[in-house]
Amino acid sequence: MKLITAIIQPHRLDNVRQALTDIGINGLTITEVRGYGRQKGHTEIYRGAEYTISFTPKLKIEVALADDRVDDAISAITQAARTGKVGDGKIFVFELLAAQRVRTGETGENAL
Amino acid sequence: MIDAADTAWMLTSTALVLLMTLPALGLFYGGLVQAKNILSVLVQCTAVAALCSVLWFAFGYSLSYSGDGDWLGNGAAFFLGNLTRGAVRAGTHIPESVYVMFQMTFAVITPALIIGAYVERIRFAAVLLISALWLLIVYAPVAHWVWGGGWLAKMGVMDFAGGIVVHVTAGVSALVIAWMIAPRHEFPHGIRPPHAPWMVMVGASLLWVGWFGFNAGSAVSSGADAGMAMLATHLSAASATLVWMAIEWIKFGKPSLVGAVTGTIAGLATITPAAGVAGPLGAVLLGAAASCVCYFAVWLVKRVISVDDALDVLGVHGVGGAMGTMLLPFVSLLGAGGGHLNLAVGPQFQAQAIAVVVAALFSAVATFVITKLADMLVGLRVNLEHETQGLDFATHGETGYHINR
């Protein structure tokens, strides 16, 4: 099992959700996060003074899935989240050691 | 003799002017600070309003409006001891009780305006001490000089609703305190942007409406003077709003909300002294001048002299009030429905300029002494840990936003 953590532009969330649903991946968790990469934040101007917003709002998506679904999921997220501009985000994949569904006690891939 | 229409309008105006402090100024300033300091600003506005009301009853009104000495009122109205139910304020047709209350709302908002200079780092005890001393040592005498029959009034200085008495005194004092308390630790490059621009707009809009009481109420009657003052006030605010937006649009490519409503306030502060004199055309011109000059003044204070007057009290209020006071003789020439059309421009300008300079110097020196005293007695700043944590929790034990329950 793998855990995919993707950092995306907040306004691409609906696209990403749809793309994952389309390939049969049901269930994801999102968190509102702030951060920067090559985009290096942006500036805002109030009363003529520039303020540097170093940490830009992003969404973090977490999806747990079976090993054979990882490549599909990565390409679905990539396509759905991409605008082509700097700041589109990143995708990370982790080994997932265990999973358990709270309600039934099912474990492993059955719990996903 | 008491006039019912005058009294009704002055009761209404009084309510409008209190609204300018509670909650308008609180929201205007509160939206401009960081989320961790929103409550501290609201507490400061509330506490200053309450404290200055009680001090106005005890000493302030008497020192400003009792007797016609050159320098200061007398003590005859301390604790409003000589106020009777039926007393009529001399020179007006309203009960003295209403006059006391109307002027009280001015005595409340003027020290509250200064809050914008020292937010996000001041000790709460220092807020109370400075505001109390400032009301009695700076505001009361200057109000007496200009409005209470003192030496500036005798010199013919015209300040319809407080360009000098409110905005110059508050603006200059704000700069002095901001300089003495030193900048916020992130100043200038690490300062975070306003946490809630929408709240700034709500506050500014309430100020705009409240200002009708401030300016049109300063006619102390319900007739033609009040009507013209309200018209001039609104037009100046509208014109200044457009011009500030235009400046930002041209300079940065985007007209911002915070900029637009800052223009509104600049236009309102600038028309304040001249609301009784400027006609509609003069008001539109004053409003346009307000945004051009105040925009530059804000930049000058922050970037050139590098004083952390955090919410631009001098740049917007002080400079606007001073400019309106000095331009008053000139806009009176435009007529177009204004009053006092036969002013002698030269001598009037001289009197206005003297009043601005004297009020500014007096405010600066007296505020310096008051702030030194507060520093010795209670200390001016919270420690760095509390400043970083935010005054809401560090000073008041509360948190403004519990978004995640």
Whether pLDDT at B61 is above 90 = yes
Q: What pLDDT is recorded for position B334?
A: 82
Confidence of residue A4 (pLDDT cuts 50, 70, 90): very high
State the smallest CA–CA distance between residue B258 and chain A in angstroms.
7
Mean pLDDT, residues A64-79: 96
Q: Is B381 exposed, middle or buried (0-12, 13-18, 19+ CB in 10 A)?
A: middle
Give residue B122's region: left, alpha or beta (phi > 0; psi -120 to 50).
beta
- Name chain A contacts of B191, Cβ cutoff 8 Å: 49, 51
Residue of A nearest to B191 (CA): A51
* Mean pLDDT along residues B96-100: 98
Yes or no, beta carbons of B298 and A47 under 8 Å apart: yes
Q: Indicate whether this complex's ipTM tops 0.90.
A: no
**A32/B contact by beta carbon, under 8 A:** no
The CA–CA distances, whole Å, from B95 to B57, B85, B103, B283 equal 16, 8, 13, 31
Contact A47 B251 (CB under 8 A): no
At residue A62, φ and ψ (nearest 5 deg) are -125, 130
Pair B122, B181: CB distance under 8 Å: yes
Helix (H, G, I), strand (E, B) or coil at B245: helix
Helix axes B257-271, B319-331, angle to 10 degrees: 50
What residues of chain B lie within 8 A of the CB of A53, using their CB?
A: 193
Q: What's residue B402's pLDDT?
A: 87
What is d(CA B104, CA B242) in angstroms, rounded to the nearest whole number?
Answer: 32
Q: Does B298 touch chain A (CB under 8 A)?
A: yes
Q: Do B192 and A49 touch (CB under 8 A)?
A: no
Architecture of the A2-111 domain: 2-Layer Sandwich (3.30)
Residue B58 amino acid letter: A
* Cβ atoms < 10 Å from Cβ of A104: 9
Lowest model confidence (mean pLDDT) among A8-12, B91-95, B241-245, B341-345 = B341-345
In the predicted structure, residue B72 carries a pLDDT above the cut 70 = yes
Chain B residues with CB inside 8 Å of A45's CB? Answer: 248, 252, 254, 256
* Angstrom distances, CA of residue A7 to CA of A31, A97, B223, B266, B375: 10, 22, 64, 43, 49
pLDDT in tens, B205-238: 999 999 999 999 999 999 999 999 999 999 999 9
Inspect the interface and report whether the beta carbons of A48 and B193 lie closer than 8 Å: no
Helical spans, DSSP H, in B88-196? 96-118, 124-134, 140-147, 151-154, 169-181
> Does A47 contact B262 at a Cβ distance shorter than 8 Å?
yes
Token readout for A19 is 């793309």
In B, minimum Cα distance to A44 occurs at: B193
pLDDT at residue B340, as a whole number = 56
Judging contacts by C-beta atoms under 8 Å, the chain B residues touching residue A49 are 191, 299, 302-303
For A51, the closest of B191, B254, B303 (CB atoms) is B191
* Residue B405 pLDDT exceeds 70: no
Instruction: Give the number of residues written for chain B.
Output: 405
Contacts of B80 (CB under 8 A, 6+ apart): B57, B61, B62, B100
Nearest-CA neighbor of B211 among B324, B79, B123? B324
Residue B68 has pLDDT above 90, yes or no: no
Beta bridge partners of B278: none
B338 pLDDT tier (thresholds 50, 70, 90): low
Best probe of the A interface among B34, B186, B191, by most A CBs < 10 A, is B191
At residue B341 the predicted structure's pLDDT band, cuts being 50, 70 and 90, is low
pLDDT of residue B336: 59
- For the stretch A72-84, pLDDT in tens is 999 999 999 999 9
Q: How many CA atoms lie within 13 A of B167 on its CB side?
A: 32
**B154-173 confidence digits (pLDDT tens):** 999 999 999 999 999 999 99
Quote the CA–CA distance of B26 and B29 in Å, as a whole number: 5
Q: pLDDT tens digit string along B253-289?
A: 999 999 999 999 999 999 999 999 999 999 999 999 9
Average pLDDT (B190-213) is 96
**Helix or strand or coil: residue B88?**
strand
In the stretch 172-231 of chain B, residues with CB closer than 8 A to chain A read 189, 191-194, 197
Identify the structural domains of chain B with CATH numbers, from first to last: 4-396 (1.10.3430.10)
How close A19 gets to chain B, by Cα (Å)?
Answer: 29
pTM of the model: 0.91
